[in-house]
């Protein structure tokens, strides 16, 4: 047992908390289901209450359990054996992500937690709880196969690269990208992350909105649909997935950037946009901007800058994003 505890301690000291949680995904989900059971698993919750309420507890503790208020020891009572370091890690993650609330005002020798019921239920209904717990690394691995490279060949033979991403609408497999990514093309090709070419047709391309919607002939295997979030909170963290142009490289590579939402603006044409701090380049046009729950809050459209402004005036470019609301309105018109 001493040797086992030594190696377990080494395991925890050598890995980040996120790596530990992802590497033990099934156990993490089991712990999560326990502490969120009142919100998302009523049958499991009934079994938990029935099981741990029969263990000589005080009336006050039984009442708390009946309301879904659990300590870390309650999981051990229910499962009879558990890695308590992992339980604590999961509880920290759930509390940090606001899926559970610490009931600090209740006197107790152990910290008491209750599910943030409405939020937990909503996130569970959308299948986003694991995204929230495991973070951006997990989100990237989950959705990277659903972000595509779009190759635009002009009449001159010059090629430009853009990005598109997969969503579902009324049973159709749609790729969302920018109008300018496919505009004025002699030939357009779409490739998945493994460089397989995909068949498609163009449904609509709106120049003023800079949004284009394409329909895939066949949904690629092992891909997850991206889902929109119509709320873009200033200073909330985001990531982008796309195919930016990289100097001195032969191919276009899928690249991930992290940043935050900086402001909501309106351009000269009256289009509503928001700004992000994540680095972008020309091939990022059409890239999804994804929040911490794994939902798409918008799509990169272009850099906002004046020619020569950096050298002449010291003005840095900003990166404009089309809000998901605008994209959803266009999809709903199909």
Between 37 and 81, the more confident residue is: 37
Domain boundaries, the chain: 14-129, 145-216, 237-332
Is the pLDDT confidence value at 147 over 70? Answer: yes
Q: Which of these, 182, 183, 143, lies nearest to 288 by C-alpha position?
A: 143
Tell me the pairing of strands 288-291 and 272-276.
Answer: unpaired
Q: What is the rounded average pLDDT of the residues 329-334?
A: 92
What architecture does CATH give domain 237-332? Beta Barrel (2.40)
HSE-CB at 128 with a 13 A cutoff on CA atoms is 23
- Same-fold call for 14-129 versus 145-216: no
Is the pLDDT confidence value at 101 over 90? Answer: yes
pLDDT at 310: 54
Q: Token pair for residue 148?
A: 């595509």
pLDDT at 316: 72
pLDDT at 15: 64
What's the pLDDT band for 4 if we cut at 50, 70, 90? very low
**Angle, in degrees to the nearest 10, between helices 25-35 and 42-52:** 80
Percentage of residues in the chain with pLDDT exceeding 70? Answer: 92
Spatial separation of the C-alpha atoms in residues 32 and 24, rounded to whole Å: 12
C-alpha to C-alpha distances, 34 to 17, 18, 81, 114, nearest whole angstrom? 20, 20, 14, 11
pLDDT digits (tens, 9 = 90+) for 261-283: 999 999 888 899 999 999 888 89
Q: What is the CATH number of domain 14-129?
A: 1.10.10
DSSP, residue by residue, 261-288: EEEEEE-TT--EEEEE-S---GGGTTPE
CATH code matching the domain that covers 145-216, chosen among 1.20.970.10, 3.30.420.40, 2.40.10.10, 2.30.40.10 = 2.40.10.10
pLDDT digits (tens, 9 = 90+) for 40-58: 999 999 999 999 987 678 8
pLDDT at 56: 77
């Amino acid at each position: 047992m001493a040797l086992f505890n030594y190696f377990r301690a080494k395991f925890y000291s050598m890995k980040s908390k996120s790596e530990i949680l992802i590497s033990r995904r099934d156990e993490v989900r089991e712990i999560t289901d326990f502490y969120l059971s009142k919100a998302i698993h009523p049958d499991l919750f009934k079994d938990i209450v029935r099981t741990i309420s029969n263990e000589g507890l005080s009336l006050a503790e039984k009442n708390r359990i009946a309301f879904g208020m659990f300590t870390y020891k309650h999981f051990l009572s229910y499962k009879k054996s558990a890695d308590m370091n992992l339980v604590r890690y999961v509880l920290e993650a759930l509390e940090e992500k606001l899926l559970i609330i610490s009931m600090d005002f209740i006197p107790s020798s152990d910290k008491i937690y209750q599910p943030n019921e409405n939020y937990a239920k909503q996130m569970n209904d959308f299948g986003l709880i694991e995204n929230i717990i495991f973070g951006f690394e997990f989100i990237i691995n989950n959705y990277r196969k659903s972000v595509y490279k779009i190759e635009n060949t002009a009449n001159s033979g010059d090629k430009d690269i853009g990005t598109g991403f997969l969503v579902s609408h009324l049973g159709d497999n749609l790729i969302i990208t920018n109008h300018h990514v496919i505009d004025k093309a002699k030939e357009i090709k779409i490739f998945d992350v493994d460089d397989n070419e995909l068949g498609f047709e163009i449904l609509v391309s709106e120049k003023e909105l800079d949004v284009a919607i394409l329909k895939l002939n066949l949904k690629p295997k092992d891909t997850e649909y991206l889902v929109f979030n119509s709320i873009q909170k200033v200073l909330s963290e985001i990531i982008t997935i796309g195919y930016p142009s990289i100097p001195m490289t032969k191919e276009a590579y899928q690249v991930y950037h992290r940043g935050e939402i900086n402001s909501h603006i309106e351009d000269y044409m009256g289009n509503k946009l928001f700004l992000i701090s994540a680095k972008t380049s020309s091939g990022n046009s059409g890239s999804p901007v994804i929040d911490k729950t794994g939902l798409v809050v918008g799509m990169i459209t272009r850099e906002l800058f004046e020619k020569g402004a950096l050298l002449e005036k010291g003005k840095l470019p900003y990166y404009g994003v089309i809000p998901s609301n605008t994209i959803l309105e266009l999809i709903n018109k199909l």
